[in-house]
Amino acid sequence: MAELLAVKDTELQDVFYDAGWTDGLPVVAPTQELVDRMLAGGGAAGDDLLGTIASHGASMSAEHAAIAAVMAGCRPEYFPVVLAALGAVLDEAFNLPVACTSTGGAAICVIVSGPHADQIGMNQLHNALASGNRANATIGRAVRLAATNLLRTRIDGIDGTSLGHPGKFTFCFAERPPAAWPTLARHLGYDETDTIVTVLPAGGPLQIANHLNGSAEGVAASLAAAMRVPSHFTAGKGGAQFAVVLGPEHEAAFVEAGWSRADVQAALMRRSAVAAQELTDAGIVLEVGSHHDMVPDPDGMLQTVADVEDVYVVTAGGAGAGWSAVIPSWAPRKHAQVVTRRVRLADEGLPPCGPDGCVIDWDAMEARQ
């Protein structure tokens, strides 16, 4: 980093942009002082190992993450969330190299559930999925910068994204505590005091408008219609994962009808099945014997979601006329999967890591699920 610190302030943005280290937006200079403050905010040493991408021979250190967090504009108290999110995307199941280079152009959607989100001022209400909140914006940006700089996935290099979407700059929001259900963290088996980060290799969010139908069945039908859109890559392939973000009015429709989160998940899984004829009418060729085996059920239907737990129902957003959002996985889970990690606060330190990446206590993790 000493070479970077020799750059004049007036030249910093051009030097970093020309080197391919930025996302196209201005960055904060990652001086040693600021990087050290960031590391202290996460209770990490610079040489702590967060994970390894074996296929690329690339390992990410806490210093690498801290540099990205400084560049993105994070405050040190955000850094534990950044560390947890990066630990998740470095999990083999997330398949970061493919998510960062595919023509589909996945964003890294970071969903934070638990008390630490409120403590650092994350937005969970109006405009939660968009701009205006420093924590949301810079945490998501830091994760993307760290990931792309680790793999050198520049748009003039191996990032093969055909179109992409704005979520590739940053895509991060906090859960608004549900009115009548456990939080997402509790649903996934974590303690009430835990904060978790769930990362989704995401396509662009679809905003769902249902202003007039206040029934649970009506809202579920609207949401599922967006999940089975024929032209989306996951439709009918049986391995899609979704984050379904319920605004207050749609959440209220389910709660007033006595539906649990599990009821919503089951209804959306069932209703997201799509008729093979609907796909072919939309110009989609059914894949058989390739990456995806799209053989219809006897009733002519194809499943979009294979398991109810692949529908991540989360509440966010402020009051309005009746809005929600469906955030689809960019591709079926055989290509990349949702991963969750617990946020470790500064006084906890990081999990032990070795030369091949973080050593995860899988037995302990499974016991929490």
- Asked if residue 365 has pLDDT above 50, the reply is no
- Asked if residue 354 has pLDDT above 60, the reply is no
Q: pLDDT value at position 207?
A: 97
- Asked if residue 362 has pLDDT above 60, the reply is no
Smallest Cα–Cα separation from 169: which of 144, 139, 202, 186? 144
List of residues 6+ apart from 19 with CB closer than 8 A: none
Contact 62, 45 (CB under 8 A): yes
d(CA 209, CA 316): 15
Q: pLDDT value at position 352?
A: 62
What is the DSSP code (8-state) at residue 309?
G
CB-CB neighbours of 230 under 10 Å: 15
For the chain, give every domain's residue range. Answer: 10-203+339-344, 204-328
Q: Using 50, 70 and 90 to split pLDDT, how confident is the model at 154?
A: confident
- Rounded to two decimals, the pTM is 0.93
Q: pLDDT value at position 353?
A: 56
- Asked if residue 217 has pLDDT above 80, the reply is yes
- Collapse the DSSP code of 269 into the 3-class scheme (helix H, G, I; strand E, B; otherwise coil) and give the result: helix
pLDDT tens digits for range 100-120: 999 999 999 999 999 999 999
- Average model confidence (pLDDT) across the chain: 92
- Asked if residue 11 has pLDDT above 50, the reply is yes
Contact 285, 237 (CB under 8 A): no
Pairing of strands 107-113, 172-174: parallel
> What stretches of the chain show up as alpha helix (H) in DSSP?
2-5, 12-18, 32-41, 62-72, 79-89, 96-101, 115-119, 134-151, 184-187, 216-227, 248-256, 261-271, 276-281, 362-368
Least confident span in 80-89, 94-103, 228-237, 343-352: 343-352
Q: Using 50, 70 and 90 to split pLDDT, how confident is the model at 42?
A: very high
Contact 160, 101 (CB under 8 A): yes
- For residue 81, CA distances in Å to 17, 137, 173 come to 26, 13, 11
Contact 253, 315 (CB under 8 A): no
Residue scoring higher pLDDT (137 or 53)? 137
pLDDT tens digits for range 87-96: 999 999 999 9
Contact 89, 58 (CB under 8 A): no
pLDDT tens digits for range 250-298: 999 999 999 999 999 999 999 999 999 999 999 999 999 888 889 999 9
